[in-house]
Amino acid sequence: MVLFKNRGLTTDLMAGETLEVGQFVTMARKTLINEPYLSNAAIIGELTKLTLARSGHSYFTLTDRNGSIDCVLFGGNNSFQSLGVKEGMKIVASGGIDVYVKTGRMQFKASKIQPVQSIGELEKARRELIQKWREDGTMDRPRKPAPFIPKNLHIITGGGSAALSDMQRLIEDRWPNFSYTVIPVLVQGSGAPSQIIRAIKKAENLADLIIVGRGGGSPEDLWSFNLESVCQAIIECKVPIVSAVGHESDFMVSDMIADIRASTPSNAIERVIPIKNELVALIAQVSDRLDFALDRLFLQHDEKLSNLVMRLSSAPMKGISNAKLRQNGLLNRLNSSIDRRVIQEKGKLTSLESVLSSTNPSRVLERGYSMAVNEKGSPITSVIGLKGGDQLTVVLQDGQVDTEVKM
């Protein structure tokens, strides 16, 4: 047998040779345990028989429709008890093939067992997790807003996945040459949770925004994003983190506890990467409006200022013209009062004059009267006291004659 020869175990043996049983079984064992696919494997099946020995070792049988194998997990009793694994449950056992030489019995020597939960069980765990985080306030904790334009976006998703290429195409559409980092991880299967968690821990020290997610798939495929460990890493993430898992209808626990929930990976990009052209247009528009507002402000101040200048320059002249008016008024009043006084005085003189002139005796003489005066020039006003021979002078309008009184 080529297989044996290659292993170099029994080069001196020939096919068909008679061997001792122990020798035969030992050879078979060596061959099997040196086969990598058999010595390092994980097998899944229903736990059909379980014995927890006093020694602490666990003996059990895994069965499925087509086969069955006895297994041992040395010192495995604690594992079975803490994981709550019981007969009838589906489990994954990791380890390798072995043969018990004394009995020739083949068995699977497990190093680790892991229960495989049914969707019903997973769903129950998910509901309990949501309930727990509702009650302790984790769901209501304040969320970190995404930066307006992420400077250092990290995308954690399946390397080479359709979701990734969708996101990359969309980023290029929205903002050509936008710079970001992709951390490729397994997004399904048993290795996915630890890879996702490690990627988040790594990215949170470098990024200002993280998108973690994957495209659509079966509930089992998406289940990493319902796990407490993965969600806890999202909750503890120091920078804003977007959960973008599956299609619109898929609603993960990670969606409920992330800072930002995107319905799909593409939706995550739409939410966090602005459209560059729109932004440029908006900036131009805002800039125009700013210019306009500034212009208007300056114009308003100009108007106010020129108005003030006008008032300032006209104000003193207004004062001057008011003062002039006042002075002219006073001048008029001064002149007219003095004029009036002069006229008044003139009037007084005129009336005095007329009174004087009306008493002038010469005016009587003009009318044909005459006046007799004695030698002393005193007017004779009565006949009493006159005697014949008295000399009188008769004064007429244009002269006087001497006369003698006859008695």
Partner 1 sequence: MNYTESMKRIEEIVAALETGGTPLDETIKLFEEGSKLLKACQAELAEAEGKIEQLRLEGTE
Nearer to partner 1, 49 or 324 (CB): 324
* Burial group, residue 79, by CB count within 10 angstroms (0-12, 13-18, 19+): middle
User: Amino acid identity, residue 341?
Assistant: R
Residues 6+ apart with CB under 8 A from 63: 45, 46, 48
Q: What are the backbone angles phi and psi of residue 184, rounded to the nearest 5°?
A: -75, 135
- Of 328 and 357, the one with the shorter C-beta distance to partner 1 is 328
Q: Tokens 């080479």 appear where?
A: 160
Give the nearest distance from C-beta 338 to partner 1 in angstroms. 5
- Within residues 124-143, the interface with partner 1 by CB under 8 A covers none
Size of the site for partner 1 (CB under 8 A): 18
For partner 1, which is the closer residue by CB, 136 or 345?
A: 345
Least gap, CB of 327 to partner 1 (angstroms): 6
Q: How far is the CB of 295 from partner 1 (least distance, A)?
A: 25
For the chain, report the end-to-end CA distance as a whole number of angstroms: 223
Query: Which burial class, exposed, middle or buried, applies to 108 when counting CB atoms under 10 A from its CB (0-12, 13-18, 19+)?
Result: buried
CA 157, CA 225: separation in Å to the nearest integer?
A: 12
Closer of 56 and 319 to partner 1 (Cβ): 319
Task: Rank residues 51 and 335 by Cβ distance to partner 1 and give the closer one.
Answer: 335
Q: Give, in order, the Cα–Cα distances in Å from 82 to each of 62, 79, 390.
A: 19, 5, 187
Nearer to partner 1, 206 or 349 (CB): 349
C-alpha–C-alpha distance, residues 105 and 127, integer Å? 44
Taking CB under 8 A as the rule, which mask of x and - marks residues 334-373 in contact with partner 1? x--xx--x--xx----------------------------
Instruction: Decide if residue 165 touches partner 1 (CB under 8 A).
Output: no
Min dist. Cβ of residue 299 to partner 1 (A)? 21
CB of 301 to partner 1, least distance (A): 18
Neighbours of 122 (CB within 10 A): 16
Q: Are 366 and 396 in contact, with CB atoms under 8 Å apart? A: no
| H or E element that contains 39 | helix 36-39
Question: In terms of CB distance, is 314 or 370 closer to partner 1?
Answer: 314
The residues that bridge with 72 in the sheet, in sequence order, are 59, 109
Strand partners, 107: 98
Q: How far is the CB of 149 from partner 1 (least distance, A)?
A: 52
Per-residue mark of binding to partner 1, 298-337 (x: CB under 8 A): -----------x---x--xx--x--xx-xx--xx-xx--x
Cβ closest to partner 1, residue 127 vs residue 324: 324
Q: What angle do CA 258, 259, 263 make, to 5 degrees?
A: 65
The rounded distance, in Å, linking the Cα atoms of 1 and 157 is 47
Our CB check for partner 1 shows the closer of 287 and 327 to be 327
Minimum Å gap between C-beta 318 and partner 1 is 11
Cβ(166)–Cβ(266) under 8 Å?
yes
Q: Which residues fall within 8 angstroms of residue 29, CB to CB, at 6 or more apart?
A: 98, 99, 101
Would you tell me which residues interact with partner 1 (CB under 8 A)?
309, 313, 316-317, 320, 323-324, 326-327, 330-331, 333-334, 337-338, 341, 344-345
